[in-house]
Amino acid sequence: MTTLTVTKRGQVTFRKDILKHLGIEPGGKIRLDLLPGGRAELKGDRRQGSWREFAGFLKGKTNGARLSIDEINEMIAEAGAMAGLGQE
């Protein structure tokens, strides 16, 4: 367990190892979900891609060939792993 100190201004500083664990980079965002009983859940707020970005991901990788559902699923898994989403 990690203990953080709150400053007089109500700010908290996270150590680099915590930010790395959350997948947060400079400029990134942290999502805090408030739970019952005075508890909270902290998560790295990962940007969700769009279908246009996905289409762009496939562009140039097929050389004009049509892809099967299995091939598309494989590319989706690869994109997720590259984005760090395959580790959840």
Domains of the chain: 1-47 (2.10.260), 51-87 (no CATH)
Q: How many helices (H) and strands (E) does the chain have?
A: 3, 2
pLDDT by residue, tens only, the chain of 88 residues:
888 899 999 999 988 898 888 888 888 888 889 999 999 998 887 766 666 666 666 666 667 777 788 888 888 888 777 776 544 4
How far is it, in rounded angstroms, from Cα 78 to Cα 70? 12
pLDDT of the residue at 71: 84
pTM recorded for the entire structure: 0.46
- Which of 54-63's residues contact partners 24+ apart within 8 Å by CB, and which partners? 54/79
Give the rounded distance of the alpha carbon of 17 from its chain centre: 16
Q: Which two tokens stand for residue 12?
A: 């908290």
pLDDT of the residue at 66: 79
Would you say 51 and 65 are in contact if contact means Cβ atoms under 8 Å apart?
no
pLDDT of the residue at 81: 78
pLDDT of the residue at 10: 94
